[in-house]
Amino acid sequence: MASTEPTSHPSRRKFLSNSSTALVGGALATSLAPPTVHAAGDDTLKIGLIGCGGRGNSAAGNAMRGDPNVKLTAMADAFEDRLGQARKVLSRSLREKYAVDDDHAFFGFDAYKRVMESDVDIVLLCTPPHFRPLQLRAAIEHGKHVFCEKPVAVDGPGVRSVLETVKQAKQKDLSIVSGLCWRYDYGVRETMKRIQDGAIGDITSVQENYLTGTLWHRGRKPQWSEMEFQLRNWLYFTWLSGDHIVEQHIHSLDKALWLMNDELPQNCFGLGGRQVRTDDKWGHVYDHFAVCYEWANGVKTYAFTRQIAGCHNDVDDYVLGTKGRAHLLGTRGRPRIENSDGTWKYKGPRPSMYDVEHKEMLAAIRAGKPINNGSYMSYSTLMAIMGREACYTGQTVTSEAMLNSQFDMSPERYEWGDVTLPRVAMPGQTKLDRSA
Ligand SMILES: NC(=O)c1ccc[n+]([C@@H]2O[C@H](COP(=O)([O-])OP(=O)(O)OC[C@H]3O[C@@H](n4cnc5c(N)ncnc54)[C@H](O)[C@@H]3O)[C@@H](O)[C@H]2O)c1
């Protein structure tokens, strides 16, 4: 197995030094002390949302359903309009659990810092993946429990930073719950347990499909700088999303990792390209990837992902073993296992996995028994990044090389203005360490 220890201190570029932060309302008192849930007889858990888009708004709702005594008390987004829209929507949907006054609603690149400085107990990190290592680090340094959307980084230095932060969270007894939601789905959990207990014998290979149509695009307005255009359309820029193998297919790759007891594959190779989304508006990401991952014991995962309209779609996990086979999602049916005993289908309850994530996180915080999903969320992110790099470069990429990569995708500056658009990656020409 590849070494999983960071070999060097991550050196993320100085973040947001020149950014303009607009604070709506007054300044806040800085508190670096870990949150005390039962302070002064009030056991309300206060929650701050960072990244007020589609997932962020939903995650706030999931969190509010997770415990009778929680409130949303702070919000931050890069953009004032996104913040404003989310405040309108959440004030209506969360009702008395919405308690965000003007002094605790922030926008701008630095807005996340203001939430960290507030008295929230928990932060929901729902910004584009690029910002996760930095915002996760800030949250743990400020003693906050975290719900952390997937993926958690877009490059090797980002993954190393997250692994270090995860250790700090353990030392501080802080929870980090990952948005890799299938780990919180009752049916997938039960099926996975049966596989791990031997229901299909030894796993011989896994096929992961994430074949879908296209996602949203938010257009371009003449007054937007290139940075604003890229940030609003972050899916299509590798430095922000990691490309769709990292941003979306990670859900499948995480299940492959789970099947392999959360051990990283040794290496992978793959094919990919950009056949339909060729217009500049789609940034520089690919629209399809096919990657073969190999573990030390010889097991292989064949992983396919595509975002092209009008094609065959399928999102499922097909696990082959010496004594049977399993469909983890069973999207055309239920999670199921087929072996010489016949077919077993999961028939138990299936509450929303998104609600379960928050319910379990909040219960763990109240019980003083923190959950830390940090290791697998970092490894599945690394798996996705190495798959992308194998396709971008046309080379075999090892997990060790990926984990130790010095290639940092951060832009020189975080400010509203120009930002370089790297070329579309060309297999056989693009190098793994493009900073060299
Ligand atoms: N677990 C799941 O099933 C699931 C589903 C959808 C999205 N996601 C993940 O959630 C994250 C957000 O996705 P989304 O669909 O909500 O995207 P979105 O674009 O709708 O929302 C992201 C928000 O973050 C804001 N933002 C960008 N940079 C910021 C910064 N530096 N500081 C503060 N705010 C910033 C944007 O303005 C936007 O409002 C992504 O990592 C995505 O992969 C997970």
CATH assignment, 183-351+382-403: 3.30.360.10
Output the CA 58–ligand 1 centroid distance in Å. Answer: 11
Structure confidence at residue 82 (pLDDT): 98
The token pair that represents 301 in the structure block: 């995962």
Structure confidence at residue 340 (pLDDT): 95
Pairing state between β 342-345 and 336-339: antiparallel
Indicate which residue's Cα is closest to atom 38 of ligand 1. Answer: 53
Give the mean model confidence (pLDDT) for residues 320-344.
Answer: 89
Report the distance separating Cα 394 and Cα 392, nearest Å: 6
Q: Which atom of ligand 1 is nearest to the CA of 179?
A: 1
Output the CA 350–ligand 1 centroid distance in Å. Answer: 25
Structure confidence at residue 435 (pLDDT): 66
The token pair that represents 16 in the structure block: 């947001």
Output the CA 54–ligand 1 centroid distance in Å. Answer: 7
Find the range with the poorest average confidence among 30-44, 285-299, 420-434: 30-44
Output the CA 197–ligand 1 centroid distance in Å. Answer: 37
Ligand 1 pocket: which residues have CB below 6 Å?
50-56, 76-79, 82, 109, 111-112, 126-129, 131, 149-150, 179, 181, 231, 247
Structure confidence at residue 406 (pLDDT): 94
Q: How far is CA 192 from CA 184, 264, 293, 316, 402, in A?
A: 12, 18, 20, 14, 28
Q: List, in sequence order, every beta strand (DSSP E) within 66-158.
A: 70-77, 105-108, 122-125, 145-148
Structure confidence at residue 208 (pLDDT): 98
Find the range with the poorest average confidence among 35-39, 107-111, 270-274, 378-382: 35-39
Output the CA 223–ligand 1 centroid distance in Å. Answer: 22
Indicate which residue's Cα is closest to atom 1 of ligand 1. Answer: 179
- Exposed/middle/buried for residue 89 (C-beta within 10 Å: 0-12, 13-18, 19+): middle
Indicate which residue's Cα is closest to atom 30 of ligand 1. Answer: 78
Which of 149, 230, 410, 414 most suits a substitution to test ligand 1, by most atoms within 8 Å of the C-beta?
A: 149
Output the CA 241–ligand 1 centroid distance in Å. Answer: 9
Sequence-separated (6 or more) residues with CB below 8 Å from residue 345: 330, 333, 334, 335, 336
Q: Choose among 204, 150, 137, 138: nearest CA to 379.
A: 150
Amino acid at 436: A
Q: How far is CA 365 from CA 262, 336, 386, in A?
A: 24, 33, 34
Sheet with 324-327: list strands edge to edge: 342-345, 336-339, 324-327, 314-321, 203-212, 300-307, 288-294, 267-273, 397-398
Distance of CA 224 to the CA centre of its chain: 27
SS3 50: strand
Contact predicate 12/161, CB 8 Å: yes
Residue pLDDT, tens place only, 235-269: 999 999 999 999 999 999 999 999 999 999 999 99
Structure confidence at residue 412 (pLDDT): 86
pLDDT exceeds cutoff 80 at 293: yes
SS3 78: coil
Which of 89, 116, 127, 224 most suits a substitution to test ligand 1, by most atoms within 8 Å of the C-beta?
A: 127
Structure confidence at residue 246 (pLDDT): 98
Give the mean model confidence (pLDDT) for residues 102-111.
Answer: 97
Q: Which atom of ligand 1 is nearest to the CA of 414?
A: 31
Domain residue spans of the chain:
21-181+357-373, 183-351+382-403
Q: Which atom of ligand 1 is nearest to the CA of 16?
A: 31
Identify the CATH class of 21-181+357-373: alpha beta
Structure confidence at residue 41 (pLDDT): 54
Output the CA 362–ligand 1 centroid distance in Å. Answer: 22
Indicate which residue's Cα is closest to atom 39 of ligand 1. Answer: 53
Structure confidence at residue 331 (pLDDT): 65
Q: Which atom of ligand 1 is nearest to the CA of 52?
A: 39
Residue pLDDT, tens place only, 118-175: 999 999 999 999 999 999 999 999 999 999 999 999 999 999 999 999 999 999 999 9
Q: What percent of the chain has pLDDT over 70?
A: 89
Which of 126, 233, 248, 251 most suits a substitution to test ligand 1, by most atoms within 8 Å of the C-beta?
A: 126
Residue pLDDT, tens place only, 395-430: 999 999 999 999 999 998 899 999 988 899 999 999
Structure confidence at residue 224 (pLDDT): 97
Structure confidence at residue 15 (pLDDT): 33
Q: Which atom of ligand 1 is nearest to the CA of 180?
A: 1
Does the reported pTM lie above 0.85? yes
Element (H, E) at 169: helix 156-171
Report the distance separating Cα 134 and Cα 146, nearest Å: 13
